[in-house]
């Protein structure tokens, strides 16, 4: 039993960088046992995300799979058999061309459950609540995709977009806030309440940045996260966002989403600064994706390749190292972090128009 647990934990450590090198970097800065439970939580969320948008799954199957996955939380005495039964269909998909690490993770989901089952119940509870709310929301959007004539997803309004972002990312922000309070009991009272109020905005910032960065690839697959209402303000249909003849209008639409993301990034900074200065590891865990998101947003909006599938601009490794190094030097000072963030935002501002 102990060996199986250790093997499961090793699987989680090895799988995380295969599905996300960025999150593997910042999760590793957390102290134990927070590091382990956040790693497992991320893998659970990645499994849900794979089911929600994997091209290897028929659209009609996704709501059913999400509902079945949600039923595995919270853990019940029969979790081993039920998790194995849920994951079994993914084994055949791993042989498909382009299936990748995400599908392999779904096929070996029982390993993540095994590692998670060894966690103290108080750490498990926020993760279980997060996955249940996340998958319930994803199921709603997956059902919309399945009901559409062409099996694609269209977002209708900014409110619709924010609802989607809440389910796939805002729930994660709220879960992390709860886990921080468990790991650091001194993080409570008014400070915790203020953090909880901002946690969802942190998730919104990360997801909107991803949507801006991936707008062309998503559209190529037939998923349009640009709200119809926003596109209409620029006399554009979401389906035309890849049309080279409409590139100026498409860029204006994406800039509008970028401004929305930038506002949420401001809230993410305020969330991070509420973490006590002595908790440097928790701060860095939040600061690294925050500052990289500002850089990512600026680079994407500055580069017209953002609207060409397969040409998404990326931040270079040296630039990533410099960005992370600056936050390490400033982590203990709110004033220094505000100045550093303001400098990053000044470089982003011209791209927002």
pLDDT in tens, 315-349: 888 888 998 899 999 999 999 999 999 999 998 88
The model's confidence at residue 22, banded by pLDDT at 50, 70 and 90, is confident
Residues 6+ apart with CB under 8 A from 76: 82
Asked whether residue 135 is domain-assigned, the answer is no
Average pLDDT rounded to a whole number, residues 24-32 = 92
Q: How far apart, in Å, are the Cα atoms of 180 and each of 65, 185, 192, 307?
A: 30, 8, 9, 38
CATH classification of the domain holding 232: 1.10.600.10
Residue 97 has pLDDT above 80, yes or no: no
Q: How many domains does the chain have?
A: 2
Residues 203 and 301 in one domain: yes
- More confident of the two residues 309 and 338: 338
Same domain, 102 and 156: no
SS3 state of residue 243: coil
Residue 198 forms part of a structural domain: yes
Indicate if 161 and 109 belong to the same structural domain: no
**Given this model, what pLDDT does residue 222 score?**
83
In a domain, 144, yes or no: no
| 12-27: average pLDDT | 91
Distance (Å, rounded) from C-alpha 143 to C-alpha 178?
30
> Which pLDDT value is given to residue 170?
97
Look at 22-31, 90-99, 243-252, 338-347 and tell me which has the smallest mean pLDDT: 90-99
- Segments forming the whole domain that contains residue 203: 152-353
- Are 167 and 310 within one domain? yes
Label residue 24 by pLDDT band (50, 70, 90).
confident
Q: What angle do CA 250, 160, 69 make, to 5 degrees?
A: 115
Comparing 51-55, 64-68, 176-180, 269-273, the range with the smallest average pLDDT is 51-55
pLDDT exceeds 80 at position 313: no
Q: With 90 as the cut, is the pLDDT of residue 305 above it?
A: no
- Residue pair 63/139 in contact (Cβ under 8 Å)? The answer is yes
The pTM of this model reads 0.94
- Does 265 reside within a domain? yes
Q: Are residues 325 and 187 in the same domain?
A: yes
Is residue 19 in some structural domain? yes
Given a cut of 80, is residue 308 above it in pLDDT?
Answer: yes
């Amino acid at each position: 039993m102990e060996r199986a647990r250790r093997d499961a934990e090793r699987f989680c450590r090895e799988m995380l960088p295969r599905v996300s090198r960025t999150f593997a970097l910042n999760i590793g800065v957390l102290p134990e046992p927070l590091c382990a439970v956040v790693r497992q939580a991320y893998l659970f969320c990645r499994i849900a995300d794979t089911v929600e948008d994997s091209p290897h799954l028929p659209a009609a199957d996704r709501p059913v799979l999400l509902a079945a996955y949600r039923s595995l939380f919270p853990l019940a005495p029969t979790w081993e058999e039920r998790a194995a039964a849920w994951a079994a269909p993914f084994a055949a998909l791993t042989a498909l061309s382009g299936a990748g690490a995400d599908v392999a993770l779904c096929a070996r989901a029982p390993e993540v459950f095994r590692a998670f089952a060894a966690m103290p119940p108080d750490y498990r509870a926020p993760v279980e609540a997060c996955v249940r709310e996340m998958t319930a929301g994803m199921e709603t959007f997956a059902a919309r995709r399945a009901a559409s004539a062409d099996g694609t997803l269209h977002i209708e309004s900014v409110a619709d977009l924010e609802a989607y972002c809440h389910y796939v990312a805002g729930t994660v922000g709220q879960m992390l806030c709860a886990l921080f309070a468990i790991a650091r009991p001194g993080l409570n009272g008014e400070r915790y309440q203020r953090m909880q109020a901002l946690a969802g905005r942190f998730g919104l910032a990360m997801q909107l940045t991803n949507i801006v960065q991936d707008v062309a690839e998503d559209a190529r697959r037939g998923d349009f996260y640009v709200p119809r209402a926003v596109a209409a303000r620029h006399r554009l249909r979401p389906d035309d966002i890849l049309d080279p003849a409409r590139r100026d209008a498409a860029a204006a639409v994406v800039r509008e989403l970028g401004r929305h993301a930038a506002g949420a990034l401001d809230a993410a900074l305020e969330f991070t600064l509420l973490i006590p200065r002595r908790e440097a590891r928790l701060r860095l865990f939040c600061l690294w994706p925050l500052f990289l998101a500002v850089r990512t947003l600026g680079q994407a909006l500055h580069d017209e390749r953002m609207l060409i599938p397969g040409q998404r601009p990326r931040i270079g490794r040296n630039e990533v190292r410099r960005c992370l190094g600056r936050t390490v030097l400033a982590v203990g000072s709110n004033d220094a972090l505000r100045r550093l963030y303001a400098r990053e935002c000044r470089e982003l501002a011209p791209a927002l128009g």
